[in-house]
């Protein structure tokens, strides 16, 4: 369990950037509409 969470921690940085970009686009569309 601990090893899995550690692996996720490493991947989260890259995934977070990707998700953050998508969320920013959604928020931008929501604000504009």
Higher-pLDDT residue of 4 and 12 is 12
Count of domains for the chain: 1
In whole angstroms, give the CA distance from residue 3 to residue 15: 18
Residue 29 has pLDDT above 80, yes or no: yes
pTM: 0.46
Q: Which two tokens stand for residue 18?
A: 């990707």
Give the model's pLDDT for residue 7.
66
Higher-pLDDT residue of 21 and 5 is 21
Most confident of 1-5, 10-14, 16-20: 16-20
Residue 19, phi then psi, degrees to nearest 5? -65, -40
Higher-pLDDT residue of 1 and 31 is 31
């Amino acid at each position: 369990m601990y090893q899995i969470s550690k692996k996720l921690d490493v991947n989260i940085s890259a995934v977070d950037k990707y998700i953050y970009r998508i969320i920013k686009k959604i928020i931008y569309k929501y604000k504009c509409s």
